[in-house]
Amino acid sequence: MKELKILAVVVFFTLVTYWGVEPYAHSVMHKHVEFKNFQYEDLKPITAKGDAAKGQALAAACAGCHSIKGAKMPAPMDPVTASATYGVNPPDLTLAGAVLDEKYLAHFLKDPVHTAMVAHKFKDKPYPMPSMATDDQSAADLVAYFKSIAPEEVTPKEAYEFACGRCHEMRYAKWTQIGEEPKTKPNIQTKMDEEKLKFDQKLAQYKDHMVKYLGKLPPDLSIIVRARSEDFLKTFVEDPQSQLPGTAMPRVGVSKEGYEKVFQYLEEVGDPSKPKREAVGPWVIGYFILFTFLAYLWYKSQWKGLK
């Protein structure tokens, strides 16, 4: 019994220390931001009912800058040229209706710079994305069109590439801002990999344009799930200014489901051992429970009649 009391004292002081340096200290260091469940409550609900056919006609104007591969519209420029013109490569719009929040998308089409919360970066220069809808009706029509062309199923990887991948590379998944790293091989004679060098040159140019546009290179997201808490990531994506005032990161406007897809991908790449931990953990702990039980029997047999 005395040993249990001693154990209680040790456990108590250990837990107080843990509480102090982990949950408590982190609650002091990181400001608390309320999570709003990707509801975008600052944006008024759009009541107009959209017509996909009318939206399709309006979307022809989008194709001047964007590709819509789902509707067989190719990109007007390659990513590097596009980044020279716009700062970053405009996204392919096939997944817009699937990954983005409907209300957000409608407001973004009407007033991009304010909806994306990047007005502070564009005080004396125009935002590359112009307003594409003059009223709620045309915005709703476009949204209806994008929803009509969006695929039923979006993979986590596709959601990531659409929502984050043109600014954030993910080198552990071989993803760059201009697409996947090509599988190349160096020349066996010269030991030089010309294809790779060409690709790297393009990537360097793209990054250069992006840094001029955004002020700094956005971070690689390979292991962002280990570097930032889950809570930080969702509140930051929902409203970047709330966590990092002045950041160039726009409010992307992902829906709740869209974010879940993106996060799933971040976790798959950034924490690939999670399923393995869950599979191996119980066996290792089970082994030590058995070990301890046998050790207890040994201990009892050795200490029998000693006291």
Partner 1 sequence: MAHFDPNAKPFSHQWMNDRLAVDTLKRVLSTEYWIPKNINFLWAMGMILAATFGVLLISGIFLLMYYIPDTQLAFDSVNHTIMGEVGYGWLWRHMHGVAASVVFLIIYIHMFTGIYYGSYKRGRELIWLSGMLLFVTFSAEAFSGYMLPWGQMSYWAGMVITNLFSLGSLDFQGLVEWIRGDYVPGQAFLGRFFMLHVVLLPLAIMGLIVLHFGTLRIPHVNNQDGEEIDFEAEAEKWKAGLRKESKVIPFNPVFMSKDVFVLGIYFIIYFYLVFYHFEFAMDPVNFDPADPLKTPPHIYPEWYFLWSYEILRPFPKDPGLVAFGFAQVIFFLLPFLDRSPNVAPANRRGPFKIWFWVLLVDMIVLTIMGKVPPMGIYTTIGTIAAWVFILLWVALPFITKMEKPIRGQK
* Residue ranges that bind partner 1, judged by CB under 8 A: 2-3, 6-7, 10, 13-14, 16-18, 20-22, 24-25, 28-29, 171-172, 219-220, 222-224, 226-229, 272-273, 276-278, 280-281, 284-285, 288-289, 291-293, 295-296, 298-299, 301-303, 305-307
Backbone angles phi, psi at 298, to 5 degrees: -60, -50
Between CA 226 and CA 233, with CA 232 as vertex, the angle to 5 degrees is: 70
Which of 177, 222 has the CB closer to partner 1? 222
- Minimum Å distance from CB 250 to partner 1? 21
Which of 133, 221 has the CB closer to partner 1? 221
Tokens of 286: 């089970």
- Minimum Å distance from CB 297 to partner 1? 9
Which of 133, 173 has the CB closer to partner 1? 173
Cα separations in angstroms, 272 against 131, 157, 238, 278:
41, 14, 25, 11
* Contact yes or no for 148/52 (Cβ under 8 A): yes
Which of 117, 269 has the CB closer to partner 1? 269
Which of 75, 248 has the CB closer to partner 1? 248
Which of 4, 188 has the CB closer to partner 1? 4
First to last CA, the chain: 14
Q: Rounded to the nearest 10 degrees, how much is the dihedral formed by the CA atoms of 78, 81, 82, 84? A: 160
Q: Which residue has the tokens 């659409």?
A: 162
- Minimum Å distance from CB 268 to partner 1? 10
- Minimum Å distance from CB 302 to partner 1? 4
- Minimum Å distance from CB 281 to partner 1? 3
- Minimum Å distance from CB 272 to partner 1? 5
* Contact yes or no for 154/99 (Cβ under 8 A): yes
Which of 192, 280 has the CB closer to partner 1? 280
* Contact yes or no for 233/221 (Cβ under 8 A): no
Q: Is 38 left (phi over 0), alpha (psi -120 to 50) or beta?
A: left
- Minimum Å distance from CB 276 to partner 1? 7
For residue 149, how many other CB atoms are within 10 A of its CB? 20
Cα separations in angstroms, 66 against 69, 178, 223:
9, 15, 29
